[in-house]
Structure 1
Amino acid sequence: MMQRPGNPGHIDSWYAFSANDRHERPALQGEIEADVCVIGAGFTGISAALQLAENGYKVVVLEAARIGFGASGRNGGQIVNGYSRDLETIARRYGEDKAVSLGKMSLEGGEIIRERVARYDIRCDLVDGGFFAAFTDKQIREMDAVRVNWERHGHSGLEMVSRAEVGHYVQSGRYVGGMIDRLGGHIHPLNLVLGEAKAVERLGGRIFEKSRVTGVEPGAAPVVRTAQGRVKARFVLVCGNAYLGDLLPEITEKMMPVSSQVMATEPLDQSLIESLLPANYCVEDANYVLDYYRRTADNRLLYGGGIGYGGQDPADLTGVIRPNMLKTFPQLRGVKIDFAWSGNFALTLTRIPHMGKLSDTLFFSHGDSGHGVTTTHLLGKILGEAVSGQMGRFDVWSSLKAYPFPGGKTFRVPLTVLGAWWYGLRDRLGV
């Protein structure tokens, strides 16, 4: 591994290494008051805090570790529109009216990101364009059906790609075709959330790091406690996702932490990285347990994949991901891996985000289920709307019923692994 300066409180990732803002915020000390106390300084919490700060609310954000410590600062950095379940599935499960409502919101997360990057001059290496890669003709047919359904809901940026055209986006012999999303893209996610956090602070918001919440006293005037302080607020927004722990079991029983692994190569010769990904689109494949990858601004290949239900990590991260990278790009054999890391995202049983409230002053959102970069920005904004009394969109999301995982904490992991094995087998058999 290369020699590099540390970034205290963050894992040793390429994102932490290349972060624009490394300064540490203080821990909460003593008692303060706010209009809104946000628990969690990831995308959901910071998106909500920024929405509220822009509208004149006095906001305090409490973060157990560092801004972007969890999935928001570790993910693949891909702007993927929509949700972890397509709109046709949402219509079957919840009704056509819900699918129409969610369809209207489905591109907004990416729009929020681009608008904030422009408004606050956030340097996060924003690049437009995404490619979904298919291994089989069956996956091509499924993609085309999704495209047709998305177009019914106003998404006009999708275009099917033939086998002959794959090389315009990725130079690999693994794929039979795919689909591009011109409204997709990729970013440096940690720099994005750090830039948004700075915007919150410029608007008067306060962010405290190393301030794990130890308790929430609900009621008309809720109080949020940490080891060394208290926040008295009018509203509390719970945005801890996979890193919430056991703070509020009525929330966490309906999600499961799942780890995904990512690695970044050494900087590659520019001609090599451009030959691998000529259009500089990010890529994810269509398998149930998928791979995802993209170019970075300093010409590395960032490649992710794998899954660990319950948040368990393999002993050798590189050993899990590198073989898949070499199946995709055998020309990278011998290339050094400078960084390898993992992070947890929150999975719901339905694979649909779970949003709701535990009281009239305590709201939450979690469980973006692997498609969180855009969805967290949307739902964070909607949490801010709800605090302001605009309940329409919040009510749509909170009406989507969530369920505890079968088997509770003891058996939820083996049962989920069994289901994933079955779908993985279907991918391998092409059925």
Structure 2
Amino acid sequence: MTTSSGLPASTLPPHFAYQNQRLMAENVPLDRLAHEHGTPLFVYSRAAILDALGAYQRGLAGRKHLICYAMKANSSLAILQTLVREGCGLDIVSGGELERALAAGVEPSKVIFSGVGKTRAEMRQALTAGIGCFNVESRAELDVLDEVARDMGMRAPVSVRVNPNVDAQTHPYISTGLKGNKFGIAHEEVASTYRHAATCRGLRVVGIDCHIGSQITQTGPYLDAMDRVLDLVQAIEAEGVAIEHIDFGGGLGIDYQGDAPPEADSLWAQLLQRMDARGFGDRMIFIEPGRSLVGNAGVCLTEVLYLKPGEHKNFLIVDAAMNDLPRPAMYQAFHRIVPLTPREGEPTTWDVVGPVCESGDWIGRDRALVAQPGDLLAVMSAGAYCMSMASNYNTRGRAAEVLVDGENAILIRARETAADQLRSERALPAV
């Protein structure tokens, strides 16, 4: 089956489809949103987010669990509120994210604080807020957190992040579970770290944590990591240190270019079967999905500015750039690029590039497109690690964002202006 654009229907994520030669987000034409709000423009489907969350909820139904959305994937306030209102907790990695999480209305006890470089100020901020758990990533961090908590007359709830030395078989920049990665405590040192934590008056051991990477498309790495973590839980509890919850992190991939990751409910059926077989079926489970909840729920709309044919390369220049869509420049990542209104004609092979003054400013290479200046394109699967990583390079304002819910479209972030950027700067005194 093909769409009216000539593309296979399977290339479009759920809740994005062509109707009468117009690409739609749910029941809203995307070209209408581009004309109303300008481009570049991020558009998200609420239904797509809730469908993705629903797969996790089905997979964990009947089990004690907490789904903590990894908000670094997309921390826009309305996205956070959408998930918090469905009962999610939030996984944070900075004090700024904690402020956003609280602004979104999350219960502080449903907040997990991850990351390798928490400062004393951030620790105090999180303890004052009453977060549910610190995922500690080094012995040095453990000791500092103990000191901070004792100074405040408190006990910090902690889990130790395990580095299980499991290959997630993903891009090296987003692999986090190998010995050569900066994350977590080496598998061989975990038991002694828990023995130490149990003696710290400012700490309260509540769990164990493991996260092996991002954009994982196979089940095997999860099963390998689970076995190693469960082995550790058995060893730690044999020494009298109780583990209340097991946090298996996130990392499940999405379909960018024909990728075929397991569905979340199918994945968790296999993982829970393994837990049951090993006698851990009644244990509280935490998970931290990010990309898999929002990645395929978002698109970035962009206008074609110029066509620049060349002897060796043809360049299609658009108004979105690496400051809006950093993943191609950072990870050589692939995003499908499709027209909002398909044109008739023979496609030309283009490199789709932006206006930023860098050779790395490309959105897609060797794409077959029929396009003219003024046409509108959609960069698909842009809901994760795009807006949250966007920058002001070249003094470009960050894009506006819209959330679609059925036939309704809500502006959830206004387009940033140069005045917005300059507001916090200070000019030199007059001479």
TM-score by length of 1: 0.28
Larger Cα-atom Rg = 2
TM-score by length of 2: 0.28
